[in-house]
Amino acid sequence: MGLPLMMERSSNNNNNNVVELSRVAVSDTHGEDSPYFAGWKAYDENPYDESHNPSGVIQMGLAENQVSFDLLETYLEKKNPEGSMWGTKGAPGFRENALFQDYHGLKTFRQAMASFMEQIRGGKARFDPDRIVLTAGATAANELLTFILADPNDALLVPTPYYPGFDRDLRWRTGVKIVPIHCDSSNHFQITPEALESAYQTARDANIRVRGVLITNPSNPLGATVQKKVLEDLLDFCVRKNIHLVSDEIYSGSVFHASEFTSVAEIVENIDDVSVKERVHIVYSLSKDLGLPGFRVGTIYSYNDNVVRTARRMSSFTLVSSQTQHMLASMLSDEEFTEKYIRINRERLRRRYETIVEGLKKAGIECLKGNAGLFCWMNLGFLLEKKTKDGELQLWDVILKELKLNISPGSSCHCSEVGWFRVCFANMSENTLEIALKRIHEFMDRRRRKEKMIN
């Protein structure tokens, strides 16, 4: 339904609907047209090598110290004889890896990321490694995109409830505002066209320019995928308002059943109109799906050439360590391993989810029907004495202090309904999860007994 409408509209659009970037993005303060960078490029294209390329360009424009490499190399090799600091599959030259700080990122690593992202989507979308920009984590990726797509005092529309970190990542340094798209339990917190329009209007009424919509798919904290129809409507909306669409898909590998996940990449895959594609950007990271948050590997995938170019330059503030790229490149491009990993990981998450939801149900607690992520969205509204944010926080405090369980209250996620809580289940052993459930059961039992006594 959405798709044919979009295509019809887009054919009328010509070039009038070219979506814009921020002032920071189009300024030339990045200085890349200066001789400083031009010289680097010339060297990169034709690097001098004493034996292999004696007539190449000698690099004396980069203040890097190579005179004492060998000392470090020998020392580290003695400590790590299997070359394990690089990964087992063929340790690369220490020198080339140590010096590598090209913001394009290691080609093999980008190819590996692209192939991993394709596998997660069951091959329903293709990813071009040259459109992948690497950042030190998804946090950085989200901030970078915000810098590029919006100016200070502009807004991004974000559906509630959302990840509490967005208040920080999207706003701290960028000066950009978040205007919430209110969602509620009446339709399982899915985004409706009315809610979108209402949020847009709210911004307009406050004289704030909306530059884009940012969704998380699968959603954090809901633990549920966004329906295909909703994605189509979203893209439609963004085309009509001539704004960007950012889809944070860091939990895409954590969907319990692969068929239930539709990435915005699949929607865009079948669209030829560049003015439509150019407004779509995807954020991904290895922190959640691979359980490697400490590695700090994030990416921006954009269908917009200008965004890719600018994001690459800006990523110089937040590059992924060359060692990390190298370590992971071979693992991620091993398709046999990644297929197995994705499959087993999904299965384990699903089982864990079922355990916790069942356990909560036995205690009389309902959760939103979820199908992805590392958490469930639990409804404790019926336990609130006061159906207010304060009441919710009071309950949160009791759960923390009495039950010794740390869960996240919906108000931290800007949920418009009180009483919802996010409960994570993937970072502990089964035993610990059982203990947590036991504590909840005991708490609920105590409450029931108390109520009986009062009544």
Partner 1 sequence: MTRTGIYRSRSGTPDSKTSAGNDGGGGGGGTTVMRVIVPLQGVVQGRGGLVLGSVIPCAFFYFLQFYLKRNRRDEPVSESDPANQNSGSSPDNSGSSSPTQSELTGLSRSLSRVIISPRSSGAHVSVSGRANSILKGGDSPYHLGLKRVEEDPYDELGNPDGIIELGLAQNKLSSALVSDQNLIGLSLSGIASYEPSDGLMELKMVVAKLMSEATKNAVCFDPSQLVLTSGAASAIEILSFCLADSGNAFLVPTPCSPGFDVDVKWRNGVEIIHVPCRSSDNFNISVTALDRTFSQAKKRGVRIRGIIISNPSNPMGRLLSRENLYALLDFAREKNIHIISNEIFACSIHGDEEAEFVSIAEIADTEENLDKERVHIVYDLSKDLSFPGLRAGAIYSFNENVLAASRKLTTLSPVSSPSQHLLMSAISKPEFLQTYVKTNRQRLQRIYSEFVKGLKGLGIECTRSNGGLFCWADMRGLISSYSEKGEIELWNKFLDIGKFNVTPGSCCHCIEPGWFRFCFSNLSEKDVLVVMNRIRKVCVTCKSQN
Catalytic residue annotation: 163, 248, 250, 288
- Determine which residue in the list 2, 152, 364, 391 makes contact with partner 1, applying CB under 8 A: 152
- Determine which residue in the list 126, 204, 317, 388 makes contact with partner 1, applying CB under 8 A: 317
The tokens 């150019």 sit on which residue?
A: 278
For residue 300, how many C-alpha atoms fall within 13 Å in the half-sphere facing its CB?
36
> In the complex with partner 1, which residue's Cβ is closer, 167 or 266?
167
Work out whether 429 is an interface residue with partner 1 (CB under 8 A). yes
Q: What's the CA gap between 100 and 110, in Å, rounded?
A: 14
Work out whether 137 is an interface residue with partner 1 (CB under 8 A). yes
> In the complex with partner 1, which residue's Cβ is closer, 241 or 352?
352
* Chain residues 113-132 in contact with partner 1, contact rule CB under 8 A: none
For residue 206, how many C-alpha atoms fall within 13 Å in the half-sphere facing its CB?
14
* Chain residues 343-402 in contact with partner 1, contact rule CB under 8 A: 344-345, 348-349, 352, 373-375, 393, 396, 400
Q: How far is the CB of 16 from partner 1 (least distance, A)?
A: 30
Work out whether 207 is an interface residue with partner 1 (CB under 8 A). no
Task: Please count the residues of this chain forming the interface with partner 1, following the rule CB under 8 A.
Answer: 125
Stretch that binds partner 1, among 109-117, 227-235, 236-244, 290-298 (CB under 8 A): 290-298
* Chain residues 171-190 in contact with partner 1, contact rule CB under 8 A: 172-173, 175
Q: How far is the CB of 299 from partner 1 (least distance, A)?
A: 14
* Chain residues 216-235 in contact with partner 1, contact rule CB under 8 A: 220
Burial of 72 (0-12, 13-18, 19+ CB in 10 A): exposed
* Chain residues 36-75 in contact with partner 1, contact rule CB under 8 A: 36, 39-40, 42-43, 46, 48, 50, 54-69, 71-72, 75
- Determine which residue in the list 224, 243, 245, 314 makes contact with partner 1, applying CB under 8 A: 314
Least Cα distance to 316 among 166, 133, 145 occurs for 133
Stretch that binds partner 1, among 262-270, 272-280, 329-337, 361-369 (CB under 8 A): 329-337
Q: How far is the CB of 333 from partner 1 (least distance, A)?
A: 12
The tokens 């294209």 sit on which residue?
A: 45
Q: What's the CA gap between 190 and 76, in Å, rounded?
A: 52
Q: What's the CA gap between 139 and 366, in Å, rounded?
A: 31
CB 238 within 8 A of CB 244: yes
Residues with Cβ < 8 Å from 155, sequence gap 6 or more? 176, 177, 178, 179, 203, 208, 209, 210, 211
CB 408 within 8 A of CB 164: yes
CB 327 within 8 A of CB 404: no
- Determine which residue in the list 7, 100, 273, 355 makes contact with partner 1, applying CB under 8 A: 100
Work out whether 324 is an interface residue with partner 1 (CB under 8 A). yes
Q: What's the CA gap between 16 and 342, in Å, rounded?
A: 42
Q: What's the CA gap between 371 and 354, in Å, rounded?
A: 10
